[in-house]
Amino acid sequence: MEDRGFDLEGRLDALEEATLKRSLSPVDRVAERGYFAEPAGGDLPVLDSAEALVFASNNYLGLTDDQRVQDAARQAAATVGTGAGASRLVTGDTMVHQDLERLLAETKGTERALAFSSGYAANVGTITALEPDVIFSDEYNHASIIDGCRLAGCETIVYDHCDAADLRSKLERRAESADASDESWLIVTDSVFSMDGTVAPLSAICDAAEAFGAWTMVDEAHATGLYANGGGVVQAEGLADRVDVQMGTLSKALASQGGYVAGSAELIECLVNDARAFVFSTGLAPPAAAAASEALHIARHSDVRERLWENATHLRDGLEAMGFEVLGDSQILPVLVGDREDALALADGMRERDIVTPAIRPPTVPEGASRLRVTPIATHEQDDIVACLEAFRAAGEDADLL
């Protein structure tokens, strides 16, 4: 009989051979300051040290172990329930969701906001619901944007990373085509790019969009809770009235799980009706919604954001002074290494010194651009930053990179 199965072993072997195979590694988290401790058991590979300092999470404000955030989740679980129990349009809508959405809209400077069960669902659901005729997408946009574009089934024109001039010339070229006059166009970009730490030139992108009548959508996954009043780069640059769709996650600085879209009342009403990832998915779990609300409140009304920026500046300056090339212009510090084996050697050297800074390799980043993605968080102490820098010096020398 013919074999019509799937050669999974072959796929895994190929990944292994190319040093591209990943595996899960369970950890017991000792949350304060981002420590991981050795897990209790299980048969998966485990971290080999009793305690390691983590510079690798998106828990940028360190709020996952904040007592107030945990209490908010606990209280929502006790009063509203652990799960929404149904999609929002059936019986899964609660005051906890409404409160979160009001706070998000206020923070983002929009009429309304809508919570999704993940940032991934927010991107896919929103892009498909808009049904654009043409999408203009930054070449480094997140996978969930790319999947949204694919699912939308329309033409997607990719422009060079953070290059508003290239975007404009691609808009111009498209405008010259025969049927462009009645097309709907959506320009979509991350605001802070996760693997490069770059910040999109949003004002120039809005200028280009307005010149051609296109809509703009900005993914603030890595900026929500951090910039301006916690409202992201769009708020920081005063662009809330010029960006049509602001999207983000609750899973990074807001220490929870879920995603959101903020925009006009009309946009949100359309998503409530047409975004399949919203309509046909169970509402966000109430403890997740409550935790995100509390985290956003803390982000807005405390000095926690300043502590993150102090740590990021200290670490970036120290790494650059040592001779490392640190990419981008945000709280994310990608330390460019180049060769994937060198990146793995540097990450291993860091790990031997009890600092977790994983190597990012192809296909996540282009060939020859492997790097360590280093993310300080607000609750790292000065001593932690110094320990990280010392480990980089020693591991960098060991790997012949300094």
Burial of 338 per CB tally in 10 Å (0-12, 13-18, 19+): middle
Nearer to ligand PMP, 138 or 384 (CB): 138
Minimum distance, C-beta of residue 172 to ligand PMP, in the bound complex (Å): 27
Minimum distance, C-beta of residue 29 to ligand PMP, in the bound complex (Å): 17
Minimum distance, C-beta of residue 180 to ligand PMP, in the bound complex (Å): 29
Nearer to ligand PMP, 66 or 138 (CB): 138
Two tokens, residue 65: 């172990």
Give me the DSSP letters along 6-59. Answer: --HHHHHHHHHHTT--------EEETGGGEEE--S--SS---SSSEEEE-B-S-
Nearer to ligand PMP, 142 or 371 (CB): 142
Give whole-number Cα distances, 159 to 128, 193, 206, 388, in Å. 20, 15, 15, 36
Beta bridge partners of 374: 333
Two tokens, residue 167: 């975007």
Nearer to ligand PMP, 58 or 169 (CB): 58
Minimum distance, C-beta of residue 232 to ligand PMP, in the bound complex (Å): 12
Nearer to ligand PMP, 284 or 345 (CB): 284
Q: Residue 141 and residue 161: Cα distance in Å, rounded? A: 8
Closest-approach residue to ligand PMP (CB): 119
Q: Who contacts 385 (Cβ-Cβ below 8 Å, separation ≥6)?
A: 311, 314, 315, 318, 376
Nearer to ligand PMP, 206 or 277 (CB): 277
Two tokens, residue 141: 């946009």
Minimum distance, C-beta of residue 178 to ligand PMP, in the bound complex (Å): 34
- Which residues here bind ligand PMP, judged by CB under 6 A? 118-120, 123, 142, 144, 190, 194, 219, 221-222, 249, 251, 259
Minimum distance, C-beta of residue 288 to ligand PMP, in the bound complex (Å): 10
